[in-house]
Every structure is written in structure tokens, then in C-alpha cells.
Amino acid sequence: MPRAQPIRLLIILAPADAAREKMAGPRLETVAAAYYLFRDREAEVVLATPAGGDAGVVKPHPDRSARLTDVARFLADRTARDDLADTLSLSQIVVEDFDTALCLGNCGGPRAGEATGIIPLLAALLCAGRPVGVIPGRGLLPGGESAANGLLLLAERRSWALPMAQALYALAAASGAGPAR
């Protein structure tokens, strides 16, 4: 049975942590890879950050950008750039509207008593049975959050963004009968 609606991916971008210099924001090449993997399969992609607005992703050096196909495409894509320049805030996200989610950037570990923010949103997505990917996933498992009904994919390296996006797409597609045609 065909899906009534296209697959919808939520990309959550964790901002740089100014207090801890090592935690730079997510990189454009990682975002672009996942973004186009879904977009090219007629899926919808929504970008969100904790406070909304410009995601502050780290762009590669211009010389390198030209060689990275997805980055060059993203930089020349007005809609994509608008998506990234004015992301939704987490409070505007309704979990049920998404088939899957990918969190890029250091989302930190779960903090006790935290009701809003990235970790509670990821938990809500998992509880709703949505497959969720996190890069880097250090500190989330083991012994932390329960994946509940959802499937939590963790990876450490940015280079895993594309295979993880492929896996998330496959999982989302399998949960229905594929995107609307």
C-alpha cells in the first residue's frame, strides 16, 4: 500500500559548545550528505536546532567546498541554505510528524530532570517508535536512555553520516510502503 505522505526526516543540529572548545558545531558536509540522501528520494527534510534560527554549521574551506559534491550543491541551493539559515526550534517540533530523525553534533549526555532539549526529544522520538541516529553518539549508551520502541543508531565518526542516513531511510521506508509516488 503506498504511503499517503512522503517520508519526513528531522535533522537536529546540536550547536557548538563555546565553553568546551573541542565541541565544534556540526559540519556542513555531514548535514549535506544526509539532507540530499533524503531529498533525492523525494523525502522531506526539516532542520531544527535548540533555539531555532541559523544553525551555525561549520563550512569547509572554500577550496575544499568546491571538491565536495554535496557541499557545493548545498551552497548553490537557495532552498537548502534557507533551511539551514532559519531552522525551527525544538519547541516547534511535533514528534508524530516525523518518520525518522538524525542528530548531528555533540548533543551531550542525558541530564537528570531535563524536560526539554535534544535528549528528551530524541527519547520522545524513540518512544514513538521512530528510528533515530546520533553522531557522535558517545555517552548515550550503554546504560543511559532506553531506546524504547525505536531503534537507536550510534556512530562516532562523521564519515558515518551517509551510511547512517541510508539505514534510517531504509527503516523509515520499511515502516510504510515507501514514499508517495
Partner 1 sequence: MEDEFRFGPFSLRPDRRSLSRNGEAVPLGSRAMDVLICLVTHAGEIRTQAQIVAQVWPDTHVEEANLRVHVSGLRKALGDNRANPGFITNVPGRGYMFVAPVTRVDATPGRTGPEARGVPPAAQGRLFGREDAVRAAMAQLAKGRLVTLTGPGGVGKSAVARAILSRLDDGCRKVWIDLSEIDAGERVPTVAATAFGVATRSRDLVGALAQAMDDVPTLVVLDSCEHVVEAATLFVETILAGTASVRFLATSREPLRACGERIHRLQPLTTPAADAGTAEVAHAPAVQLFLERADAALGGYELSDADAPLVALICQRLDGIALAIELAAGRLETMGIAALAASLSDSFSVLTRGRRTALARHQTLRATLDWSYMLLEPAEQRALQALSVFRGRFPAEAAEAVLGGDGAELLAALIAKSLVVLEADRSVTFYRLLDTTRIYAFETLEGAGELEAVMGRLGRHLLGHLEGAGPYLYSGTTEDVATGFAHVVPSLRACLDWAFGETGDSLIGARLTVAALPLFFKLSLCDESLAAVTASIHFLDANPDLDETLRMKLYTALGWPQLVSADEPERGVAAWHASARIAERLGDVDHQLRAVWALWVDAVNRGEPGQGLMLAERFAGLTAASPDPADVCVGRRMPAATLHWLGRHEAAAAGLTEMLADYEYLPAGGHTIRFYFDQKITAHIILSRCRWFLGDEAGALEAVEAKLTQARSIRHTASLSNVLAEAACPLALASDDDALAARYVALLKEHTRLASLDVWHTYAECFESELVQRQGDSAGCLRQLRPNLDQLRSSGFILFEPVFVATEARALSRLGRHAEALGIVDRALARGRRSGGSWWAPELYRERAGICLRMSDAAGAAAGFDAALRMARAAGATALVRRVERDMTGPAFTSIYKSQLVPRPGRRQARGEQEPPHAARSADTPSDHPGPG
Q: Which residues bind partner 1 (CB under 8 A)?
A: 5, 8, 46-47, 53-54, 59, 62, 75, 78-79, 81-88, 92-94, 96-98
The distance of closest approach from Cβ of residue 82 to partner 1 in the complex, given in angstroms and rounded to an integer, is 4
The distance of closest approach from Cβ of residue 104 to partner 1 in the complex, given in angstroms and rounded to an integer, is 18
Q: Radius of gyration of the chain from Cα atoms?
A: 16
Distances (CA, A) of 137 to 40, 70, 110: 26, 23, 12
- Residue in 72, 97, 68 with CA at minimum distance from that of residue 172: 97
**Cell numbers 531506546: residue:** 147
Cβ-based nearer residue to partner 1, 60 or 108 = 60
The distance of closest approach from Cβ of residue 106 to partner 1 in the complex, given in angstroms and rounded to an integer, is 20
Cβ-based nearer residue to partner 1, 69 or 92 = 92
The distance of closest approach from Cβ of residue 55 to partner 1 in the complex, given in angstroms and rounded to an integer, is 9
Q: How far apart are CA 32 and CA 16, in angstroms?
A: 18
Cβ-based nearer residue to partner 1, 96 or 143 = 96
The distance of closest approach from Cβ of residue 36 to partner 1 in the complex, given in angstroms and rounded to an integer, is 17
- Residue in 49, 52, 53, 75 with CA at minimum distance from that of residue 62: 75
Distances (CA, A) of 8 to 15, 53, 74, 156: 22, 20, 19, 24
Cβ-based nearer residue to partner 1, 68 or 75 = 75
Cβ-based nearer residue to partner 1, 20 or 59 = 59
SS (H, E, C) 78-92: HHHHHHHHCEEEHHH
